[in-house]
Structure 1
């Protein structure tokens, strides 16, 4: 099924993250505002680090696809994750990895999308890793938009 045959799950919000909150436009809630000029950024780090976002889907849903948009700045080649892991927390307890994607490469402003193993859940954790070192010698993640889609 392609993304245009699916519905975006509205009402998603971040309950916790490893991100920074320096500016209104780099805030994890901006991931779901539909604006490609605002997004989420992690802290600036001296070493690579697994970053995370804990997300509430608003109600129990069955997401089948995730989409992440890269910042639309061609000269900034770093910041977008090379690895994404998605974990679902079913209502009956436990956790289930529903996506592990490595070797991600997306052009500036474009979307990474991947199918998720369908599972009924309200809570999801998205973990990212594999950002390249910036010219400043720092590592940090930037994602402009995030979507979960359902059938």
Structure 2
């Protein structure tokens, strides 16, 4: 299904993350504000580390696609994850990996789109890894927008 045939799940919010809260515009709740000028960032680290976002979809839904937008700064080639894993927590219990994507390459300002295995859930975890080292010698994950879509 194309994005045009799907609906964005409204009311998503982050319940926990490995990110930082240094600024109002660099906060995990900004992932769902619809603006390409605000977003989520991890802490600046000396060594690469997997990052995570725990997300409540607002109610029980069946997401079939995830979209993540890269920061629209062409000179910054770092920050966007090379690997994304999405885990759903079905209502009946347990957990299920509904997407694993490796070798992700997205141009500045563009969207990564991943097809999710359909699972009825209210909670998901998005795990990211594989950010490149910055010229400063630090590792820092940045995602400007996130969307979950349903049929």
TM-score by length of 2: 1.00
Partner of 1:34: 34
Partner of 1:20: 20
Q: Report Cα offsets for 1:91-133 as digits up to 9, x if no partner.
A: 1100000000000000000000010000000000000000000
Aligned mates of 2:67, 2:132 — CA distance in 1: 20
Unaligned runs of 5+ in 2: none
- Superposed CA RMSD in Å reads 0.3
Aligned mates of 2:79, 2:4 — CA distance in 1: 27
| Residue 6 of structure 1: how far off its partner (Å) | 0.1
Aligned mates of 1:4, 1:69 — CA distance in 2: 17
| Residue 4 of structure 1: how far off its partner (Å) | 1.0
Aligned mates of 1:4, 1:126 — CA distance in 2: 23
Q: How many residues align?
A: 151
Aligned mates of 1:140, 1:94 — CA distance in 2: 31
Unaligned runs of 5+ in 1: none
Partner of 1:93: 93
Q: How does 1:32-111 map to 2 (within 5 A)?
A: 32-111=32-111
Report the 3-state secondary structure (helix = DSSP H, G, I; strand = E; otherwise coil) of the residue aligned with 1:4.
Answer: helix
Runs of 4+ in structure 1 deviating by more than 3 angstroms, as ranges, are none
